[in-house]
Each structure stands twice: as C-alpha cells, then as structure tokens.
A and B are shown apart, each in its own frame.
Chain A
C-alpha cells in the first residue's frame, strides 16, 4: 500500500511546546511516527544564568502559561534543597492551595478540549465556564488569573486573607458539583467508551521504559506521583489519594484527570482548615555553593529542576525538564497501529498540544500536494463519534447533560 507522510505542526501557539510530528500512514492506519521539537526553544536555561536567584521564579513561571506555578515550585524546591532551607508551615499550605488551584483549572481546560475533539461542543463550552470561577479565585489571591508570582525561595510572596476563605470555599462547592456532573456523564457514556476504550494503549512496560509522567503513567495503573513520592509543600499533612486507572487507553487517562479534580478539592479544603496564622517566609541570607534538585507534580506530570550555584548571586547552571518532554516520545508506542482519526485523540489524552492539529496537513510525499488540513482531522474525529452515536440509536448520558446545560436548569 502507498505510504504517505502526515506532518503535524510545528507551531501551535496555545501551549508551551511546539513540535512537529510526522505520521507515516498507509491508508488510514499510522505505521510509524517521528517527532521533532525545538521550534519554540527560548533558551530559558541560558537566560536563567543571567538572573539573580530571586528573579529566576519570575522567569521560569513563563515557561508555561498553564502550569505556571509548577515550575517556580520545582525551582524553589531545588534551591531549598541546595541551601537546606525550611519554610514556615503557613507557606507550605499556601503552596498547596496555589498548586491545586492550578491543577483544577488545567484539568477543566482539558475536559473541555477533549469534549470538542470528540464532538461534544456543549461540554467544551460548559467545562470552560466552570473553569472561570477557579481563575477568579486565582485572581483574588494573587491579582492574576495566571502567572501568580507567589513563589520565592524560603516561602511565598503573598499571604492569603482570612476574609477570602468563604469565597474560596463556595467556589470549591460549585466546582465539585460541576466535576461530579462531568465525571458521571463521561463514565457512563457508551459513545465515549466506544471512542476511547482500547484506543492508544500505553502498556505498563512502555510507560516505564519511556519514563512517562503524571496522568499519562497513572492511566497505565502505575501509582507515580511526586506529591506522595517526594513530598513538598504540605502534601504530607493532608489526606488525599493518588488516582490510578488500569488500561492505559485514552479512557483511563481521562478518568484519572476527572477523579483527580476531587482530590485537588479535598486538598484545598483541608489546607484552608489546617492553616494557622504565622510567618509566610524565612529569611534567606545567602545561597551557598553547591547543587540542588527539586521537582513538583504539575498537572501533566513531574516538572524537574536542577540548579548549581558557585556562591555568587546567579545560577551557574539551571536545568529544566518539563513533563511533556518525557510523555511525547511515548507516542511512538501509542499511535502506531491506530487510525488518523484517533491520533488527535491519543495525543490530546497526553495533554500536550491541541493546537497542533489546527496546523496539521496531509501531504502526499511525491507531489507535496496538501490533501488534508487540521480542520479535516478534527472533522474526521467528530464524524466518527457521530457515526457511533447513530449506530447506537439512543440518547446518551452526555447528550442528556448537554440538554440540561442548555436549558440552564443546573
């Protein structure tokens, strides 16, 4: 059969990473995949060497617009490891709250986009609507919907005000209701099952060999979570569970994310309850020479930072590794053998890049003729859902939810 190359990318402006995927396809089946990154290489590691230790959190916060607080947390963890700094308890709880708010809004963003991909636009609109109150709380706490600038070496930059707590609690109640709604509808929906179960399976062995992280590895039944494995902030002071799901398919990864929302809500509630008035930072006089390793569990997996200091005021070397760098290579294991219509979904399940599909084009190798665009791929994915729905011949739980949402009786 004739083999064709489908280039995906390289640019997708919404998220932090831009890659170019080349899908080698025979008919509709993907037989091989090749990836190339670096199109948005900004030289953050090099830039970091020209900043003072105290300025670096602002820089690394800008690595990603969605996990904008995970990088500063990993960096301050590394610096506190280097210099042996203990931070006050109140600062630990504040770090907890900020990190979990970020996870919540990131997972809601993902639910919406996944809904769009499989053809449930109502889910897309409403998931993003329910994401707004979370961002409002972020703004209330830090003055910004994203890029909170809360982390500093030795503590946090801003305190939480006691009078804001009721507002945060009522937001959590609303978000919990919404999370319940989506989780119930997705878990019972036969169309979602047909589209996602058994698709893009990442086996346990592959998950370990590729060193995958976050919901991607937990969806393969491996309980790997930095919050539990190397506790930072106040994660060892609150009661929560590491969510895993067996199977390794797209459904498992979706289930992990949906269920993690409830854990995040639990963590924030307990942190609010357990927080006592007190200092929010310890004074850091100087950073000694040495090296430190820090990491944090971002919504997509472990963010890793390594810092070396020579006793001056800037890092000599600052190494950063974001979770997608470890997750994306696993496409080699998950996409091969699947159809083009499912590849968009499989890559979305890892949560790296949706916009890449907007820039996707199918090109015939010999003539370079554009046969298909990114919009076509989304259309193919959505048509497939439609077909499954028609075969089923009945209203699905997600349809019912969409109708209720439209009527506004929720």
Chain B
C-alpha cells in the first residue's frame, strides 16, 4: 500500500521479530512486536530511521495493556505505530527514556495513569496526578472506580 522509505526500512531491517504489520492506510501503519524488543526497536526508529516520537498511548484491555509508540516520519508523510502488549497485573517494560529525553515525561505519565512500570527510567517520579492522590490507584485502568474523598 504505502511506498514510504521508513516503512520499507522497518519491514526489512527492524532488529526485532515482527509479529504482524497492519497497513491501515498509506499514512498509518501498525507494527506488532514483543515487549522485550522495545528498546532495540525504538533505537532503530529514532537513530536509523530518524523518526520523531510523537507520544506513547496506553490502552488497558482485558488481556493486558496495549502500548503504542507513535513514530512520525515527516519526509514520508507517515505515522508508524510500534505496538506491543504487556501483561497484567504488574505491567512492566523497559524504559526508552534512557537514550531518548522525549520519552521521559511520556513514560512518567503512563506510570501515573495506567500503572505501567518502566524499568530503568532515569527519573520515575509522579508527574501528573496530585500529590495527595493515593499510591497504586490509576485513573485510566479498567478496574478504576473512583476514589473516596475524606
């Protein structure tokens, strides 16, 4: 469908195993990988393909938490989503903020709202939720039912 150089590079050279590629339309492609490969894949997207990490979306589903790393390729007019699923409870994945400052706040936010732990994050403090928000309660998790205000 798409003839972008970035997607071609991902198909040929992505250094981790690709489970599936879904080309939604010429400007959007979803690449499914195992969570273990996220650091290597992100490094490849940033350093080799010169992508820009727009953000990371986290979606809580019955079977685990979907993480979508949205990489924008300006020259190719394309978005490539690196998509992976991590297990619940205690969702964990390696941090990519170790080499990419752009991911620093994004990962901290995901930790606040979904409880995803990013292993090796350089500064894993709370960023979004209020100081008096209870520990271990994540507002965008499926089992969230509000908090009791005293």
Footprint of B on A, CB under 8 Å?
Answer: 36-39, 41, 43, 45-46, 81, 84, 208-211, 224, 229-231, 290-291, 293, 295, 302, 304, 306, 308, 316-317, 319, 321, 325-326, 329, 332
Contact with A along B94-121 (1 / 0, CB 8 A): 0000001110110000001100000000
In contact, B77 and A229 (Cβ under 8 angstroms): yes
CA distance A321 to B126 in the complex (A): 18
CA distance A329 to B108 in the complex (A): 13
Q: Which 7 A-B pairs give the minimum distances between C-beta atoms? A: A211-B102, A38-B128, A319-B57, A229-B74, A321-B55, A317-B59, A306-B57
CA distance A295 to B52 in the complex (A): 14
Interface residues of B in 19-77 (CB under 8 A from A): 24-25, 27-28, 30, 52-55, 57-60, 68, 70, 72, 74-75, 77
- Are A293 and B74 CB-contacts (below 8 A) given A304-B55, A319-B57? no
In contact, B81 and A326 (Cβ under 8 angstroms): no
In contact, A81 and B24 (Cβ under 8 angstroms): yes
- When the two chains form the complex, which single residue of B57, B72, B113 contacts A229, counting CB atoms closer than 8 Å? B72
List 10 extra interface pairs beyond A45-B140, A290-B24, CB under 8 A. A38-B128, A81-B25, A210-B101, A210-B102, A229-B74, A295-B54, A295-B72, A308-B59, A321-B55, A325-B55
CB distance from A71 to the nearest CB of B (A): 14
Q: How many A-B residue contacts, CB cutoff 8 Å?
A: 83
CA distance A84 to B74 in the complex (A): 21
CB distance from A205 to the nearest CB of B (A): 11
In the complex, chain B residues whose CB is within 8 Å of the CB of A38: 112, 126-130
CB distance from B14 to the nearest CB of A (A): 20
B124 beta carbon closer than 8 Å to chain A: no
CA distance A231 to B104 in the complex (A): 28
- Nearest opposing residue in chain A for B100, CB measure: A209
CB distance from B54 to the nearest CB of A (A): 5
CB distance from B90 to the nearest CB of A (A): 21
In the complex, chain B residues whose CB is within 8 Å of the CB of A293: 28, 70, 79, 81
CB distance from B27 to the nearest CB of A (A): 6
In contact, A224 and B54 (Cβ under 8 angstroms): no
CA distance A125 to B140 in the complex (A): 44
CA distance A229 to B76 in the complex (A): 8
In contact, B28 and A81 (Cβ under 8 angstroms): yes
In contact, A326 and B74 (Cβ under 8 angstroms): no
In contact, B54 and A321 (Cβ under 8 angstroms): yes
B91 beta carbon closer than 8 Å to chain A: no
CB distance from A379 to the nearest CB of B (A): 31
In the complex, chain A residues whose CB is within 8 Å of the CB of B112: 38
CB distance from A86 to the nearest CB of B (A): 11
In contact, A302 and B54 (Cβ under 8 angstroms): yes
Q: What are 16 residue pairs bridging A and B, where the CB atoms are less than 8 Å apart in the complex?
A: A45-B113, A45-B140, A46-B140, A81-B24, A81-B27, A224-B74, A230-B72, A231-B77, A293-B70, A295-B54, A302-B54, A304-B54, A304-B70, A308-B59, A317-B57, A332-B101
